[in-house]
Amino acid sequence: MEQTLALDVYGTLIDPMGFVEDLRGRIGDDGAQFAALWREKQIEYLFRRGLGRKYEPFSVCTRQALDYTRVVTKAKLREADCAALMARYLDLPAYPGTADALAVLKRAGFSIYAFSNGEPDDLATLMDNAGLSDSLDGIISVHEVRSYKPDPSVYAFFLENTGATLGNTWLVSANGFDVIGALQVGWKAVWVQRDLELQFDPWGIEPTAIVPELGELLAVLT
């Protein structure tokens, strides 16, 4: 049976901290802390929008999180700086080895989809810029569902739009909430634990497999 991989984008394929050096050039040595808070608030806003059924697109949540972080940290960012940082979200780097790992999985016969909270056009641009598009069978965005992971409806949407089934679909994500969301609706799921200090959420739900990087995927999927 053909196996389908639903690969999360931000934090899994693409490094959402890939603009830290750009930030340091704009605000100084606090760039890494700024980026971490921005990412934290971005995810929080997605959760709150999904739970409250008050959907706004990923780019809106990202910009609102940027504005929050700018105010809280008192960073001296002009509107032009903020616009430039938002543009970087379309040109973030893939994690090292990602393109090679996807190519290996493609040659092994897996169907490979990017599966993300991001917006469709933005994701297409991001995948092209990162050099990952050639290994993908498609991009599935939650945008049409008007909710966010880990809402069960977005995982159902993925299956409906790819023809995949519960029995042959693996989620691959570095985000614990995404892994748990997929497991709760019956998928298999791999947690990408790039940092050994990270703790998986102690909910009594365990990933089907754990890998330190995408290059280890093939070994646990076959």
Q: What is the per-residue pLDDT across 34-67, written as a single tens digit (0 to 9) for each?
A: 999 999 999 999 999 999 999 999 999 999 999 9
Domain boundaries for CATH 3.40.50.1000 within the chain: 4-15+92-221
Q: What fold, for 4-15+92-221?
A: Rossmann fold (3.40.50)
Fold of domain 20-88 = DNA polymerase; domain 1 (1.10.150)
Report residue 220's pLDDT band, with 50, 70 and 90 as the boundaries.
Answer: very high
185 CB-contact burial (10 Å; exposed 0-12 / middle 13-18 / buried 19+)? middle
- Mean residue pLDDT of the chain comes to 95
pLDDT of residue 28: 85
Residue 108, token pair as written in the block: 């092994």
* Residues 60-87: tens digit of each pLDDT: 999 999 999 999 999 999 999 999 999 9
Q: Is the pTM of the predicted complex or chain greater than 0.75?
A: yes
List where CATH 1.10.150.240 sits in the chain. Answer: 20-88
Model confidence over 133-163: pLDDT tens digits? 999 999 999 999 999 999 999 999 999 999 9
pLDDT score at 1: 62
- Is the confidence at residue 129, as pLDDT, over 80? yes
What percent of the chain shows pLDDT beyond 90? 91
Distance, in Å, from the CA atom of 150 to the CA atom of 93, rounded to the nearest integer, reads 24
Question: Alpha-carbon distance 189 to 205, whole Å?
Answer: 11
Task: To the nearest 10°, report the CA torsion of 207, 106, 138, 180.
Answer: 0
d(CA 105, CA 170): 13
CA distance 33 to 20: 9
Q: What gap in Å lies between CA 151 and CA 142, rounded to an integer?
A: 10
Helix axes 20-27, 31-52, angle to 10 degrees: 120
Asked if 189 contacts 207 with a C-beta cutoff of 8 angstroms, the reply is: yes
